[in-house]
Amino acid sequence: MRSPVDVIVTSGEPAAFAAKQATKAIPIVAIEFAVDPVKGGLVTSLGRPEGNLTGIAIDGAELWQKRLSVLRVIAPKIVRMAVLWNRANSGNESCVEEIKAAALAMGLQVNAFDVSDAKTLDSALTKIAKEPPDALALCWDSVTLTHTKAITDFALKLRLPTVAAVREYVQGGSAVDRDEPSSAAAAHRSLCQQDPQRRKAGGPSDRADGQP
């Protein structure tokens, strides 16, 4: 780190990994995880993260079962579902695995499309349009979040019920949100509310990763 700072705040797994590799001394507060930080290799324990990284994580292990259950209530005849995810986002790997596991238990077929930028997103939507599924699922990532309106317009045009991980997608027009009531904005507010206490508590290794 060339510029001296007191703390680094990151958003998403890629940024958290980059910050962790860049410094072992400056405290890192990581938010907006799409994967369990332990499974993702960021920390060794949620209770005692160790090192210089702490933060807020959303436990999504069982949430996709709930989301798909709600989706099935809204659209009981769905059989085939497309998923938009970003392979470059390590957290999205767990997202796809959780969706596939939940879908398998419900007898749904899943076809995942890797979208890493606007170009690959357009390509994925073109492929989906050629053989429209019965529903669409969005993994939490900056690409899908940035292009929420385009995805929403596409889903509305094809009349695809859509399920997403956080409220920001719903505010952009997606149909179903089952995030308990967490959202990216809620995580930010929680972080700001806890920060004064965190500064008094000692190093990041002494503080647990919060889970809304």
Sorted by where each starts, the structural domains of the chain and their CATH numbers stand as: 8-58+183-206 (3.40.50.2300), 63-177 (3.40.50.2300)
Higher pLDDT, 42 or 195: 42
**pTM above threshold 0.85:** no
Per-residue model confidence (pLDDT) at position 46: 74
Per-residue model confidence (pLDDT) at position 76: 94
Which of 10-24, 27-41, 43-57, 150-164 is modeled with the greatest confidence? 150-164
Q: What is the pLDDT of residues 142-193, one digit of tens each?
A: 899 889 999 999 999 999 999 987 777 766 555 555 444 444 454 444 444 4
pLDDT surpasses 50 at 45: yes
User: Containing H/E element for 153?
Assistant: helix 148-158
Asked if residue 121 lies in contact with residue 87, where contact means CB atoms within 8 angstroms, the answer is no
In angstroms and rounded to an integer, the radius of gyration of the C-alpha atoms of the chain is 18
CA distance from start to end of the chain: 31
Average pLDDT over residues 28-53: 76
Please provide the average confidence, as pLDDT, over all residues in the chain.
79
